[in-house]
Structure 1
Amino acid sequence: MNTFTKLAVASILWAGAVDAETVNGLRTADEFDTIDNEADRSVALFEEMFLVIESPRCMNCHPVNNTPLQGDDMQPHQPPVVRGDADFGAPGMRCSTCHGSENFTYTTGEGSIPGHEPWQLAPIEMGWVGLTAAEVCSQLKDPERNGDRTLAELHEHNAEDGLVGWGWEPGVGRTPAPGSQEVFGALTQAWIDTGAACPTG
């Protein structure tokens, strides 16, 4: 194999490794640069963000009622718990009763209890289960429902918040959200930069 062939093969392998590393089931923001119409590109970026939003790692803590879900199959939380005051659980059964500051792997190694400080449900105004991408997009942009966040603050939340980041470090027995928090944050910024357009329907 001559030097040129070796370089060509190395280049192909490198490109494949980068794709596998950066995508992980989620396209990066630059992959949408070929969409000329800015509004169409913005919608496409949000639809890619929605792949993260609709994953169990996000949906389980964004129920539309007062009961969190758990597992990749999004079953009602066991033991039964409720939202309670300030989304931290009911008195005597706070989220922190079982959920510590980090994931706790069972001694059998066959599962884990998720953990982060804080551990809580999203406000009910930010419930997502059963909603379409268009509905979630509208909700995220509405200060009356999104915790009075600006789009810049929404980007910061998606890109830097530790509880959001837990979705990619969920502990033994759970499938991580697609991509990475870095890719999700970059998609969020690109969506904002292109006008934060929402899908229809």
Structure 2
Amino acid sequence: MRFLIALMLMVTPAVAETVNGLKTVDEFDGIAEEEARSVALFEEMLKVIEHPRCLNCHPAGDTPLQGDEMQPHMPPVIRGEADFGAPGMYCTTCHGSENVAFVTGEGSIPGHSPWQLAPVEMAWVGKSPAEICAQIKDPERNGGKDLAALHEHMAEDGLVGWGWEPGEGRTPAPGTQEILGELTQSWIDTGAMCPDA
């Protein structure tokens, strides 16, 4: 009997599992039509792309946002010429190479090296899923990335990875960076299709 149970466990396929609110690639295997699967994969990626950990650094204007509520940055700061802040108030004036807990223990100053806003042409706040999708596929509006470089950015970039280690007082992005990378690659492999709206 034990032999049969052990044998059954060995041949039972792995069950796809949602991790911290983000579906894994396996959960899309039931969508037979490739274009529909590609769109569904991108819509899952949006759970990260549209999370405050991403949107706060992809604002529509020249002011970064902060917190889960996406409020304007305090103290007031602006983008500056190279997306690192204005002279005398660069991002690195307050943001170091790692998160620093408040002395009170109730929050933290986020940090990573480099710490900066995404270029203004990569602003996502207020855009529809279709607009965001078209934008991140367009090298003129995504920092000059082809799809392979876009995958590398999502899967390996440390600043993107910070979204899952945001420090005390902030909700991490859904899933993990590894899952986002797998979703991105599968989206690319199925044609990098965009939603209609």
State the 1:188 CA deviation.
0.2
The answer to whether the 8 A contact 2:99-2:110 is kept is yes
Shift of 1:19: 3.2
Superposition map of 1:12-161 within 5 A: 19=17, 23-161=19-157
What residue number does 1:192 align with?
188
1:45-96 C-alpha deviation (Å, 9 max, x unpaired): 0000000011000000000110000000000000000000110000000000
CA deviations 1:179-200 (Å, max 9, x no partner) are 0000000000000000000001
User: For each residue in 1:110-167, what CA deviation from the matched residue of structure 2 results, as whole angstroms up to 9, or x when unmatched?
Assistant: 1000000000000000101111111100000111111111100000000000000000
- 2:180 is paired with a residue whose SS is helix
Is the helix fraction higher in 1 or 2? 1
Distance in 2, matches of 1:198 and 1:116, equals 31
CA offsets per residue over residues 15-35 of structure 1, 9 Å max, x none?
Answer: 89x836xx1100001110110
- Gaps of at least 5 residues in structure 1 are none
CA shift for structure 1 position 3: 6.2
Query: What TM-score do you get using the length of structure 2 for normalisation?
Result: 0.92
Query: Please, what TM-score do these two structures have when normalized by structure 1?
Result: 0.90
Which 4+ runs in 1 deviate beyond 4 A? Answer: none
Shift of 1:109: 1.1
Q: What residue identity is the alignment partner of 1:177?
A: A
C-alpha distance in 2, partners of 1:114/1:48? 26
Q: Distance in 2 between matches of 1:53 and 1:154?
A: 13
Secondary structure of 1:129's counterpart equals coil
SS, match of residue 82 in structure 2: helix
Percent identity reads 70
Matched positions, count:
193
**Alpha-carbon distance in structure 1 between the residues aligned to 2:20 and 2:194:** 24
**Cα distance between partner residues in 1 of 2:144 and 2:77:** 27
Kept in 1: contact 2:17–2:27 (CA 8 A): no
Find the aligned partners of 1:107 and 1:185 in 2 and give their Cα distance. Answer: 35
Give 1:181's match in structure 2, choosing from 169, 173, 177.
177
